[in-house]
Amino acid sequence: MNKQAITYPVSEWEKYARLHASVTTSFQLAVYKETCKYLSGDIVDCGCGTAKIAPLLVGNNTVRSYTGIDFAEEMVTVSKWILQKLQQKSFTIEHSKIEDLKGKEEFFNSGVSIQSYYSWPNPFLVLSHIYKILAKSGIFVLVTPNESLSLEELAKEAEKELIAHPDFEAFKEYNLQLAENTQANFISMDSLISQVQEVGFKVQECHNNHFLGGLNFLVLKKG
């Protein structure tokens, strides 16, 4: 696979923004909630989408600031709308590629990237930049699908709780379409661990407990 090819053009994400904001499955919520346990201080959310994790950080005294980064304009518009509702002065959104974020070297105490890695044409470059913007001993939660992800199975389960949601069918179809992309970089836990170690991260925890085993969940520390 040519890792430099544009596997997911930004236009793919623009169309997804409204559905992404509108539907949350309990599978997603469980991931967001577990992730929040590791986040504190100045937090960066890399490929934040519609910043769905931000509302869960409100009221946590250990959180100083939240910075969501996303390169899709429509995601940024919707995430800003969500942050406006939260009324947290220290919660902001940057319209940028993760790897292009400037002036924040060694700034963030913790970071997260959920369901974004698989679309990065050059994951090593992006991970290296995340490493750079984290402070010494900073924690980074990386969550991304492995090859066993079955969106059909997940959709069947999610339908039980969201069957009457007006956006559920469209949400399901869009997710199936995103995962059908043959260039999606769904990666084994072992390969992902080798890659993050190459960047310099230490692996503190890792498991496949979410999404019926289809998700790699890693807690990393900057050495």
Ligand X SMILES: C[S@@+](CC[C@H](N)C(=O)[O-])C[C@H]1O[C@@H](n2cnc3c(N)ncnc32)[C@H](O)[C@@H]1O
Q: Which residues bind ligand X (CB under 6 A)?
A: 13, 47-49, 52, 69-72, 75, 97-99, 114-116, 119-120, 126
Q: Which residues have C-beta within 8 Å of that of residue 100, sequence separation ≥ 6?
A: none
Q: How far is the CB of 219 from ligand X (least distance, A)?
A: 16
Question: Which residue number, 2 or 61, has a Cβ lying nearer to ligand X?
Answer: 2
Q: How far is the CB of 217 from ligand X (least distance, A)?
A: 12
Where do the H-state alpha helices sit in the chain? 10-22, 26-36, 54-57, 73-86, 123-133, 151-162, 168-180, 189-199
Question: Which residue number, 99 or 167, has a Cβ lying nearer to ligand X?
Answer: 99
Q: How far is the CB of 221 from ligand X (least distance, A)?
A: 20
Q: How far is the CB of 86 from ligand X (least distance, A)?
A: 15
CA distance 18 to 36: 23
Q: How far is the CB of 12 from ligand X (least distance, A)?
A: 8
The SS3 call for residue 114 is strand
Question: Which residue number, 53 or 63, has a Cβ lying nearer to ligand X?
Answer: 53
Question: Which residue number, 109 or 185, has a Cβ lying nearer to ligand X?
Answer: 185
Where do the H-state alpha helices sit in 6-140? 10-22, 26-36, 54-57, 73-86, 123-133
Residue 221: both structure tokens together: 């520390």
Question: Which residue number, 16 or 201, has a Cβ lying nearer to ligand X?
Answer: 16
CA distance 62 to 42: 9
Q: How far is the CB of 208 from ligand X (least distance, A)?
A: 17
Residue type, 27: F
CA distances for 13 relative to 16, 49, 53, 141, 211, angstroms: 5, 8, 18, 22, 21
Residue of this chain nearest to ligand X (CB atom):
49
Question: Which residue number, 61 or 182, has a Cβ lying nearer to ligand X?
Answer: 182
Residue 196: both structure tokens together: 């993050």
